[in-house]
Amino acid sequence: MNSRPLGAISQDPSDGEALTPGHLLTGGSLIAPPALRTPDQESISCLRRWRLVSSVRQAFWQRWSREYVLGLQIRGKWHQQQPNLEEGDLVIVAEDNLPPQEWLVGRVIATHAGEDGMVRVVEIRTSTGAVFRRPIHKLAPLPMC
């Protein structure tokens, strides 16, 4: 379960391994056997351990926002029509001033189309009940299972 890729697996060997939940848990792939611990690793200080865990967490969130969330966002050429967001769609709201782990998840409650009939702005309700407007390029629709 924790070794399942979060996104599409690239065919390019230079891309490295796919991002999995295991990267957050251990900082790397769970497929690799655990490294043997040496005595000097056993006595790692609390501060060094905290820094290590913090760097693993930060690396995971950077990869997650770069690979997974960007993969969810609708990107296409202007000459290809993309499906509009609809009321009831679940989305991640990307905020420039917040780290990815603090991005909100919300449900689309209203859509606002442009003159061409394409949705450009939506109103979103979050789990806290807050309602706000966001342009669709700041949203990543979550896949419905």
What is the model's pTM?
0.51
Q: What is the pLDDT of residue 97?
A: 83
Q: Starting from the edge strand earliest in sequence, which strands make up the sheet with 90-93, in order?
A: 131-135, 119-126, 104-113, 90-93, 139-141
Same domain, 60 and 109: no
Domain total for the chain? 2
Classify residue 135: in a domain, yes or no.
yes
Classify residue 3: in a domain, yes or no.
no
Owning domain of residue 122:
90-141
Classify residue 102: in a domain, yes or no.
yes
Classify residue 68: in a domain, yes or no.
yes
Classify residue 83: in a domain, yes or no.
no
Written as tens digits, the pLDDT of the chain (145 aa) is: 566 666 655 556 666 666 677 766 666 666 656 566 655 556 678 888 888 888 888 887 777 777 777 666 655 555 566 678 899 999 988 888 887 778 888 999 999 988 888 889 999 998 889 999 999 888 888 877 6
Tell me the HSE value of 82 on the side-chain side, using a 13 A CA sphere. Answer: 14
Q: What is the pLDDT of residue 121?
A: 93
Euclidean distance between CA atoms 133 and 124, whole angstroms: 6
Are residues 18 and 10 in contact, defined by beta-carbon separation less than 8 angstroms? yes
